[in-house]
């Protein structure tokens, strides 16, 4: 498939390097999504797969509409989103100052880094049992686990941002008459800012993943709860509704954060 008929593709444009137009990308996206839906419909309608285990797209659509009508989908979505935001905010409040401190002070880095490196391999899900024992199955345990999950990307990127400030920028500011305070305000902060924003975006993504895990284990509302609850009544169509909602929500959230990143860092993307 050559981008322009008759013109041979240049070598430098092979693999990921070649530019792709927006329309072309939209067309490709529609092709792949509709192909999956067609295949899915064919599999369940022809009875090749058990329809109880794999509901047809129309079953899922009906279940989705029902969930919208009785308000359960909205309620559960809002409950989940609130948890994500709370956990994310908690993570930011802890990770940002700690990241800044560790980025600028080698002493703090030396003290805290071993602890962080020890904690990092422990996945958030492993903390769920402990969180339930400590905080019960209420909001606090879930928000804490989400915050734990979101903490690391925010923290690690913030620290790296503050640690890796280009020395030549600091020297340039010094030669122009900047003192310690001005260097921090005018050079260190703006240098580290892009990585802080990236960290926040990755943290938000992780918060979302951890959220569903936490809700699967213990919750009385939320998208994870919706999925788990549907399992008990063998409503695979509702499970699909919950999962698709999570997928779409995650996609939209990521797009929004990417857009926010572009706007905040205009100088980088122009």
Hey, which residues between 207 and 266 contact other proteins (CB under 8 A)?
A: 266
Nearer to other proteins (CB atom), residue 61 or residue 189 = 189
Q: Find the distance separating the first CA and the last CA of the chain, reported in whole Å.
A: 30
| Residue 168 contacts other proteins per CB under 8 A | yes
Q: What is the largest CA-CA distance in the chain?
A: 77
Nearer to other proteins (CB atom), residue 15 or residue 267 = 267
Token pair for 237: 């169509």
CA dist 237 and 77 (Å) reads 17
| Residue 172 contacts other proteins per CB under 8 A | yes
Binding residue (CB under 8 A) for other proteins from 45, 70, 182, 259: 182
Nearer to other proteins (CB atom), residue 116 or residue 264 = 264
CA dist 74 and 28 (Å) reads 31
Binding residue (CB under 8 A) for other proteins from 53, 107, 118, 176: 176
CA dist 195 and 154 (Å) reads 9
**What residues have CB less than 8 Å from 153, skipping those under 6 apart?**
199, 202, 203, 205, 206
> Looking at 38-46, 116-124, 180-188, 252-260, which segment touches other proteins (CB under 8 A)?
180-188
Binding residue (CB under 8 A) for other proteins from 6, 175, 180, 263: 175
# of chain residues touching other proteins (CB under 8 A): 21
> Looking at 16-24, 55-63, 83-91, 188-196, which segment touches other proteins (CB under 8 A)?
188-196
| Residue 184 contacts other proteins per CB under 8 A | no
CA dist 259 and 256 (Å) reads 5
CA dist 72 and 255 (Å) reads 25
**What residues have CB less than 8 Å from 268, skipping those under 6 apart?**
194
Cβ pair 241, 73 in contact under 8 A: yes
The dihedral built from the CA positions of residue 110, 151, 210 and 126, taken in this order, carries a sign that is positive
| Residue 171 contacts other proteins per CB under 8 A | yes
Nearer to other proteins (CB atom), residue 89 or residue 265 = 265
Q: How many Å is the Cα radius of gyration of the chain?
A: 24
Hey, which residues between 108 and 167 contact other proteins (CB under 8 A)?
A: 166
| Residue 190 contacts other proteins per CB under 8 A | yes
Instruction: Provide the binding-site residues for other proteins, judged by CB under 8 A.
Output: 166, 168-169, 171-178, 182, 186-187, 190-191, 193, 266-268, 270
């Amino acid at each position: 498939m050559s981008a322009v008929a008759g013109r041979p593709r240049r070598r430098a444009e092979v693999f990921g390097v070649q530019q792709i137009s927006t329309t072309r990308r939209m067309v490709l996206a529609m092709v792949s999504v509709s192909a999956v839906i067609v295949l899915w419909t064919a599999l369940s309608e022809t009875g090749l797969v058990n329809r109880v285990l794999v509901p047809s797209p129309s079953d899922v659509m009906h279940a989705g509409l029902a969930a919208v009508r009785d308000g359960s989908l909205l309620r559960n979505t809002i409950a989940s989103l609130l948890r994500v935001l709370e956990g994310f905010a908690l993570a930011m409040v802890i990770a940002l100052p700690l990241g800044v401190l560790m980025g600028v002070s080698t002493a703090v880095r030396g003290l805290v880094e071993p602890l962080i490196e020890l904690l990092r391999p422990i996945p958030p899900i492993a903390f769920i049992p402990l969180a339930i024992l400590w905080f019960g199955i209420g909001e606090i345990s879930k928000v804490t686990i989400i915050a734990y999950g979101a903490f690391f990307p925010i923290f690690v990127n913030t620290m790296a941002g503050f640690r890796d400030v280009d020395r030549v920028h600091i020297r340039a500011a010094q030669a122009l008459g900047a003192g310690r305070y001005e260097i921090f305000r005018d050079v260190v902060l703006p240098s580290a800012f892009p990585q802080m924003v990236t960290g926040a975006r990755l943290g938000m993504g992780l918060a979302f993943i951890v959220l569903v895990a936490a809700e699967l284990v213990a919750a009385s509302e939320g998208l994870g709860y919706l999925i788990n609850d549907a399992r008990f009544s063998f409503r695979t169509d509702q499970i699909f509704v919950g999962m698709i909602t999570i997928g779409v929500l995650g996609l939209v959230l990521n797009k929004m954060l990417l857009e926010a990143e572009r706007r905040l860092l205009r100088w980088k993307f122009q």
